[in-house]
Structure 1
């Protein structure tokens, strides 16, 4: 009689759950309601309930989900080859992974990027989604884990501590390609402007003071060359991410992974992705090691610093229009003031500057998080991940915006630039080889005090013939190295 009563209560509970469009799942901490249509399960639901921090979800980074799916696919192929998982289950899990790689079911990854647990919620989110989709493929219902269990099958021979860092590495490698593509576009745009402005003479400056003449083309071409170095630097550092610790499981000892798993899984992941992944020689060392993240973040910071400097230059050269340098014109994108009519601000370089500041700050966060590792694991990897992903996405978006909304529309004020060259005291530097540094200093001082030109003073004092002076001050001769006779 009592058993019948219990059965009746259980049935009523399940009926109520069905009416509410929830299913009941359980874990170490007890039972929890999960939306009946959700492919994720109880541990993901706990993550949803626990973490409301960044409001940036795993589903906001498709490359991350795809990377995780590739790792799980490599793992199930490895377990199947080693005879650990049977044909039916491995086939269903493989199909589920491929669907994630193809962009399906991504809405089922609602975990906040900022979390405790060293990424366990992320790993279980993937395990549960893949398991429940595999169940459907095999003809079962979501939650019927007796046929395919998230931990025992999808996560077989694995731990969050090897799956999580491996998926992060693959995601960064994928996202780095997007960044390099954006950066390549910026370099091309700067080279285009370098060619367009190659005949525009202007005054070069050091310490914000007049230095020697150059062309606007040289300036923009130099920016392009400067950023070209960053592509090489990014590619150098991204190579560090190809060493993975799959098969190390919890702390690198390989507990619960069958012999041969580590190297075969790395080989399978390489074959699936086309990336040259290798198994770390010391999995215990590799499990808590975050050095590759630190190096790659440093490369992002270096790019951000250079990019911000270029934007500073653009803002300076466009300052004015009447009371500044006014050498170039940036495309007008928005009224610049709520009180000053006619004012237009350099909003695109400004927003790029701010993105660069964020990347520099993220690098500091990553440095602290990497240092905070303890013993056989670094539990701060979630903030490292979120910071790296944010830097990658923001930089790519900012660079694309800078190209499309600013660089391609820049024009130069040729007459203004040349007028400043003619009136500059800085051109006296070109006379050093002819009349000497000391005499040039006197000429410069007199020109500054009397508001006269260097050209007139040199002729007046008979320091050079007009023919020789014209040759020395010919802009073409001042732009490159040339032979001279004292």
Structure 2
């Protein structure tokens, strides 16, 4: 028994901790207390790296202030660098959802870093009289400033990757917009025939939608760069050096490459989850627009013979266990589901932020978990949609051309030329007789064949410049 465990003590008593473990008694209590999701904080690699960055910056600041011996600081820094390189992540074992405002996560980080630092100093794990998780690793900190700062550092790293994934998808749509620039089709409003456009314009709009949301994500990320590190428990800075907040922020900025800033009012910053709510709202916006785009792709590719059939999505797997030859739009469907999850996470984040009381929000663990989940899944969704779907889309050009020729919607292009009343009458006649609008216009001598050809040129139809291509003025 003694060969397999070491005993550690906390205010509740002694616990046997596995001898191999880098975590300690506080982490073990949390593992026992919170068997909630089965997902450990190690699932969020950016959070683990963020925790290590915060602890590394704190050790450097405390060393600079003469509050931490140089050898201890060096060992802590080395341990943190190892963690940030990907080592020891399996030792971050507490559940992602936990009571205590993230205290268990902070304790887990303190203990792992302390025990690795002890090894580097030539001591056994658990020999905390040489280097202590709280007195040394957590010096000048509280969970209430270290944890949200680590979350923000992690969110900045993960949002950068999401922005890159969105850019990849945007570029895929833009390439298709260029490819389909000459393909005229029927636009639709309320699922009814509307005016003509090009397939390139349709795909170009998806690229613009993504570009707009990349900008919104960058704006939300800017708010995340304000941190409360140095505020300790409630923002008053109790137990930290007067110069600590500025110094630790400078070190953390250097370590992460992010232009972080210390909040002007640390009491406000410690209790306010507004930046998380703002970021979540942007993620919801991205999710909603991505889902709408995927709805369009599924609708435009519906068929192949009983639907719109305007585009072809690449076939990536068999679509049915009973219907041979069936292929489903599975990539847009999975992105739809990612969007639903992000939208649901936004509700959770909203409720958790609202539930904060007085000087602290105790529910930041679920806020962090939902944000990381949404960001990670949206990133994967954008990359998958680009690679497995958008890049391989083809257009059914002949079918689109035939539909435009036969649609009632082209009558709108005639309105500036023959007037609304005559255009409306021609549209109704076309519907009643099941004839193309152009045939009706010619039969009623509303325009000559040459005039009609000029008005209904593809470039005219898609750019709404009938006034420029025909001098006729309606009566």
TM-score (norm 2): 0.97
The reply on whether 1:237 has 2:225 as its aligned counterpart is no
d(CA) in 2 for partners of 1:473, 1:194 = 22
427, 432, 435: which one aligns with 1:449:
432
Aligned equivalents of 2:38, 2:197: Cα separation in 1: 49
1:411-462 deviation digits (Å, cap 9, x = unpaired): 1100011110001011110100111011111111111111111111111111
The aligned counterpart of 2:253 is 270
Cα RMSD between the aligned structures? 1.0
> What's the CA shift string for 1:76-111, capped at 9, x where partnerless?
111111111111111111111111112111111111
Pick from 145, 152, 172 the counterpart of residue 162 of structure 1.
145
1:291 maps onto 2:274 in alignment: yes
| Map 1:296-445 → 2, pairs under 5 A | 296-445=279-428
Comparing 339-348 and 148-157, the one that deviates more: 339-348
Q: Structure 1 residue aligned with 2:40, among 47, 51, 57?
A: 57
Tell me if 1:122 matches 2:105: yes
Report the count of equivalent residues: 469
- Report the CA distance between 1:481 and its aligned residue: 4.1
**Counterpart of 2:102 in 1: which secondary structure?**
helix
Show structure 1 runs of 5+ residues with no match. Answer: 1-15
1:212 Cα deviation from its structure 2 partner: 1.2
Superposition deviation, residue 58 in structure 1: 1.2
Instruction: Report the 3-state secondary structure (helix = DSSP H, G, I; strand = E; otherwise coil) of the residue aligned with 1:213.
Output: strand
**1:142 paired to 2:125:** yes
Structure 1 position 277, deviation (Å): 0.9
Match for residue 11 of structure 1?
none
Equivalent residue number for residue 197 of structure 1 = 180
Q: Indicate if the aligned counterparts of 2:413 and 2:464 stay in contact, CA closer than 8 A.
A: no
Q: Does 1:461 find its partner at 2:413?
A: no
**Once the two structures are superposed, what CA deviation does each residue of 1:371-430 show, in whole Å capped at 9, x if it has no partner?**
000011000101100000000111111111111111111111000111100010111101
How far apart, CA to CA, are the structure 1 residues paired with 2:215 and 2:20? 46
**Of residues 176, 185, 188 in structure 1, which corresponds to 2:168?**
185
1:71 maps onto 2:54 in alignment:
yes
Query: TM-score scaled by structure 1?
Result: 0.95
CA distance in 2, matches of 1:478, 1:135: 74
Q: 1:44 deviation in Å? A: 0.7
Q: Which residue number in structure 1 is paired with residue 17 of structure 2? A: 34
Equivalent pair of 2:118/2:124 in contact (CA under 8 Å): yes
* Alpha-carbon distance between aligned partners in 1 of 2:71 and 2:323, rounded to the nearest angstrom: 71
Q: Runs of 4+ in structure 1 displaced over 3 angstroms? A: none
Pick one of 173, 189, 203 that aligns with 2:156: 173
- Please give the per-residue CA displacement for 1:249-305, whole angstroms capped at 9, x wherever unaligned: 111111111111111111111121111111111111110110000001111111111
Where 2:126 maps in the other structure, the secondary structure is coil
Once the two structures are TM-superposed, the CA of residue 17 in structure 1 deviates from its matched residue by 2.0
2:73 is paired with a residue whose SS is helix
1:287-337 Cα offsets, whole Å, 9 max, x none, are: 011000000111111111111111000000000111110000111122222
Q: Distance in 2 between matches of 1:421 and 1:235?
A: 40
Show the counterpart of 1:7: none
- CA deviation string 1:195-251 (max 9, x = no partner): 111111111111111111111111111111111111111000101011111111111
- Structure 1 CA distance for aligned equivalents of residues 63 and 217 of structure 2: 36
**SS of match in other structure, 1:94:** helix
Q: In structure 2, what is the Cα distance between the partners aligned to 1:475 and 1:386?
A: 50
The separation in 2 between residues aligned to 1:251 and 1:445, in whole angstroms, is 71
**In structure 2, how many angstroms separate the alpha carbons of the residues matched to 1:378 and 1:429?**
57
